[in-house]
Amino acid sequence: MQHPRPTRSFRERAGSVLRALFALAGVAAVALLIRQIGARELLTLLLRALPWLPLLLLLEGGRILSEAYGTRAICGDDRAKIDIPTWIRMHLVANSALSVLPAGRAICEGIKIAAMSPVYGAPRAAGFVVGQHSMTLLALALISIPCAFAAYLASGLGLLTIAVLVHGGLCAVFAVALRVAAHRAVVPRFAAKWFVHSEDALTVFRATARSLPWISPATLLGKVVNRVLQAVQFTVILHAIGAGGTIERGFLADGVNLVGSALGELLPAQIGAMDGTFALAAKALVITIPMAMAIANLARVVMLGWSAVGALVPMIASREGRPSRI
């Protein structure tokens, strides 16, 4: 007897269509930019930077490890309940979603909750992940300061400087708002049946959130190291394409990346948004449009390289008979 196939809701179908349209728009934007600047010149720059790719991949690996360190640290004395290899595998998979999927940050944090739930329980896992995410936002706010300063030195109080400052300010506000929301965790009665399956679970989530310090030094350190390593990555990329790699220019490029990544949150791998943002910031970076495109594409190649590793982790784990949590 054949069972009827479950039908997708209108909201799910509309979401899929919107994501596809965003992806197509991003690809079209990149194609137009490449057509305008010339594919040959762009390819020459990318090939020139290939010898630096191992170092860039190593720095990206350091970013993933620092992220894992930050998440593990927020769990306090309970962190030892999950072994270090599992923490690393968890973050490899989460990083893969973050780098490739639309709305990757939300999916990335969801993967962490799912992986930690078998050990801590879903409510506590969610509390830990919300706490570490607030530190991610705070780290973004902090790294925006040297990025904005570098932008100011390059182009004064222009659009780029203001955009980086606004991005940093919003991250700081959202970091505080997230913790306040987690502490209160109030769900209206009319919505409770949809979002809360157990009042006890909500109580545990609130208790976990309230047990965490407003600023976790170890977690914040891991998140800040993650962002500093990204600035170093851009310094190496600028040097690799012959654009002059100094740490000041690295922070300037990272500021452009922060704005572009925020604008491209709904695009897979920020296709189009990151490229367009770097192209618009070419004057401030004192580089050509092909160089700007090369920076965006090299950064994307590095992200996709580690995303491929993260995508293989569940397959390898299942073959070796590891627990389903990753």
pLDDT computed for residue 100 by the predictor: 73
pLDDT, position 252: 95
CA distance readout (Å), 10 to 13, 24, 102? 5, 21, 19
pLDDT at 29: 45
Residue 272, Ramachandran bin (φ over 0: left; ψ between -120 and 50: alpha; else beta):
left
Considering only the C-alpha atoms of the chain, give the largest distance between any 2 of them, rounded to a whole number of Å: 71
Spatial separation of the C-alpha atoms in residues 278 and 287, rounded to whole Å: 10
Question: Residue 128's pLDDT is what?
Answer: 95
In one letter, which amino acid is 252? L
Q: What is the pLDDT of residue 303?
A: 85
> CA torsion 49→54→59→60, rounded to 10°?
90
Residue 143 amino acid letter: I
Specify the pLDDT at position 6.
47
Q: In 122-145, which positions are buried (b, 16+ CB within 10 angstroms) versus exposed (e)?
A: bbbbbbbbbbbbbbbbbbbbbbbe
Quick one: pLDDT at residue 268? Answer: 62
Q: Are 238 and 247 in contact (CB under 8 A)?
A: no
What's the token pair of residue 279? 């192209």
Q: Which pLDDT value is given to residue 124? A: 92
- What's the token pair of residue 14? 């509309």
Instruction: Report which of 223, 213, 137, 206 is spatially closest to residue 175, judged by C-alpha positions.
Output: 137
User: Chain centroid to CA 208: how far?
Assistant: 24
The distance from CA 252 to its chain's CA centroid, rounded to whole angstroms, is: 18
d(CA 63, CA 65): 5
Residue by residue, DSSP assigns 97-112 as HHHHSTTHHHHHHHHH
pLDDT at 194: 46
Q: In this predicted structure, what is the pLDDT of residue 12? A: 52
Burial of 106 (0-12, 13-18, 19+ CB in 10 A): middle
Per-residue tens of pLDDT for the chain, all 326 residues:
444 444 555 545 554 444 444 444 444 444 544 544 445 665 776 777 788 989 999 999 999 999 999 999 999 999 999 999 999 999 998 888 887 777 778 888 988 999 999 999 988 999 999 999 999 999 999 999 999 999 999 989 999 999 999 999 999 999 999 999 888 876 555 444 444 556 777 888 889 999 999 999 999 999 999 999 999 999 999 998 888 878 999 999 999 999 988 876 666 656 667 778 888 888 888 888 888 888 888 888 888 888 888 877 766 655 555 544 56
**What is the per-residue burial (b if ≥16 Cβ within 10 Å, else e) of 257-269?**
bbbbbbbbebbbb
